Amino acid sequence: MTVRSRGAGQTGQAAILMLGALAALLAGTLILFGFGQALGARGKHQRAADLAAVSAAQVMRRHYHRLFEPVLLEDGVPNPRHLSTPAYLSLARSAAERGARRNGVRTQGVGVEFPDKGFAPSRVTVTVRGGGDLRLPAADRRRRVDVRARATAELIPSEDVGIPADRGGYHGPLAYRQGEPMRPDVALAFDRMAAAARREAGIYLSITSGFRSDAEQAALWAANPDPKWVAPPGTSLHRYGTELDLGPPAAYAWLAAHSRRFGFVRRYSWEPWHFGYGRNNGSASVGYARRSSDGRSAVPSFVPGRFHDAIVRASQRWNVGAALLAAQLYAESNFNPFARSPAGAQGIAQFMPGTAAALGLRNPYDPGEAIDAQAHLMRDLLRRFGSVPLALAAYNAGAGAVEQHGGIPPYPETRAYVMKILGLLGGAGDIPFRTDFEIRLVE
CATH class held by domain 288-441: mainly alpha
Average pLDDT value for residue range 288-292: 44
Contact criterion met (CB below 8 Å) for 278 and 265? yes
The residue annotated as part of the active site, out of 159, 180, 332, 369, is 332
pLDDT for 167: 41
Q: Which residue has the higher pLDDT, 436 or 201?
A: 201
Task: For residue 421, give every residue at least 6 positions away whose Cβ sits within 8 Å of its Cβ, in sequence order, or none.
Answer: 324, 327, 328, 331, 392
Q: Which residue has the higher pLDDT, 316 or 189?
A: 189
**Which of 223-237, 305-319, 355-369: highest mean pLDDT?**
355-369
pLDDT for 171: 65
Determine what percent of the chain is predicted with pLDDT higher than 70.
Answer: 74
Mean pLDDT, all residues of the chain: 78
Is it the case that residue 350 has pLDDT exceeding 60? yes
* Helix and strand counts by DSSP (H, E) for the chain: 12, 10
Can you give the residue ranges of every domain in the chain? 25-156, 175-277, 288-441
Contact criterion met (CB below 8 Å) for 321 and 430? yes
- Identify the CATH assignment for 175-277 out of 3.20.20.70, 3.40.718.10, 3.40.190.10, 3.30.1380.10: 3.30.1380.10
Average pLDDT value for residue range 185-209: 93
CA distance 148 to 150: 7
Is it the case that residue 356 has pLDDT exceeding 90? yes
Task: For residue 100, give every residue at least 6 positions away whose Cβ sits within 8 Å of its Cβ, in sequence order, or none.
Answer: 48, 49, 51, 52, 107, 109, 110, 126, 128
Q: Kindly report the backbone phi and psi dihedral angles of residue 309, in degrees, each rounded to the nearest multiple of 5, phi listed first.
A: -65, -35
pLDDT confidence of 427, banded at 50, 70, 90?
Answer: low
- pLDDT per residue over 30-56, tens digit each? 444 444 444 455 677 788 888 888 889
- Name the nearest CA neighbour of 289 among 217, 187, 375, 221: 375
Of 34-48, 223-237, 264-278, 371-385, the poorest mean pLDDT is in 34-48
Residue 67 one-letter amino acid:
L
CA distance 387 to 406: 12
Average pLDDT value for residue range 220-225: 83
pLDDT for 292: 45
CA of residue 317 relative to chain centroid, distance: 28
Contact criterion met (CB below 8 Å) for 145 and 133? yes
pLDDT confidence of 441, banded at 50, 70, 90?
Answer: confident
Q: Which residue has the higher pLDDT, 355 or 3?
A: 355
Q: Which residue has the higher pLDDT, 442 or 12?
A: 442
Of 11-25, 174-188, 251-265, 422-436, the poorest mean pLDDT is in 11-25
Q: Is the dihedral angle over the CA atoms 379, 385, 386, 390 positive or is it negative?
A: negative
332 catalytically annotated: yes
